[in-house]
Amino acid sequence: MAYSQQALKEQVAKAAVEYILPLLSPTAVVGVGTGSTADLFIDELAKHKQQFKAAVASSERSAKRLADHGILVLDLNEVESMPVYVDGADEINAQLQMIKGGGGALTREKMVASVAERFVCIVDESKLVERLGAFKLPIEVLPMAINSVSRQIEKLGGVARQRVGFITDNGNPIIDVEGFSVEDARELESTINQIPGVVCCGFFALSPATIMIIGTQEGVKQLS
């Protein structure tokens, strides 16, 4: 019998908690991502809430779920270091470069991840790709820069559309870009980062994950 996508997500959430347990201590703060896989990770993590001090969340959604479990949620400004950040992805390749932001939390995800020593990416096997770019690339932009950024994106070969009815936790719109031929995600991430008005682009290639925990029909695997 084949495992459902939900079952694979549950398996990686459990495996991620097993992976991070040796990294926890009474003073440790855990970085927590956003999305349906991250939600399952939060639920598993809560079973071990006596083994760490607090969490930093990458979204209001995850902060609420953590708090509902009785886990102390700290602001990123209160934290100097974290042993680990755990999050899902929309796409990930064998170099552990990702596209993230399907849930719109990319900016906070990138910030929280940057403070952590390790990024543990938890995905089911549908997220594993040879080349990034089939998933529309999310870019958070300042409101007055929607059109100017979109024009710059078109010069780079992409087609940008504003995500309808969506505003990030930071109060900004998102544009989703399709049509990029992504040969070098690091270079494209750097280029997009330099467009005035871009808050954050959904490539996580300049700072990829440290390890991927992937749920497959043959069981949970790790790649680092």
Residue in 101, 133, 158, 215 binding ligand 5RP, rule: CB under 6 A: 101
Give the full edge-to-edge strand order of the sheet including 203-204. 91-92, 98-99, 203-204
**Residue (33 or 158) nearer to ligand 5RP, CB:** 33
Rounded CA separation 128/125 (Å): 5
Rounded CA separation 106/161 (Å): 17
Tell me: does residue 90 bind ligand 5RP (CB under 6 A): yes
Tell me: does residue 11 bind ligand 5RP (CB under 6 A): no
**Residue (17 or 106) nearer to ligand 5RP, CB:** 106
Kindly state the greatest CA–CA separation across the chain.
52
Tell me: does residue 14 bind ligand 5RP (CB under 6 A): no
Active site residue 109: yes
Which listed range, 21-29, 81-89, 182-190, 214-222, lies at the site for ligand 5RP (CB under 6 A)?
Answer: 81-89
Rounded CA separation 120/105 (Å): 17
Tell me: does residue 89 bind ligand 5RP (CB under 6 A): yes
Tell me: does residue 215 bind ligand 5RP (CB under 6 A): no
Which listed range, 14-22, 103-111, 153-161, 215-223, lies at the site for ligand 5RP (CB under 6 A)?
Answer: 103-111
Residue 162 near residue 175 (C-beta atoms within 8 A): yes
Q: In the 8-state DSSP scheme, what is residue 192?
A: H
**Residue (161 or 166) nearer to ligand 5RP, CB:** 166
Closest CA to 125 of 62, 37, 40: 37
Rounded CA separation 209/86 (Å): 9
Annotated binding site for substrate: 34-37, 87-90, 100-103, 127
Binding site for ligand 5RP (CB under 6 A): 33-37, 87-90, 100-106, 109
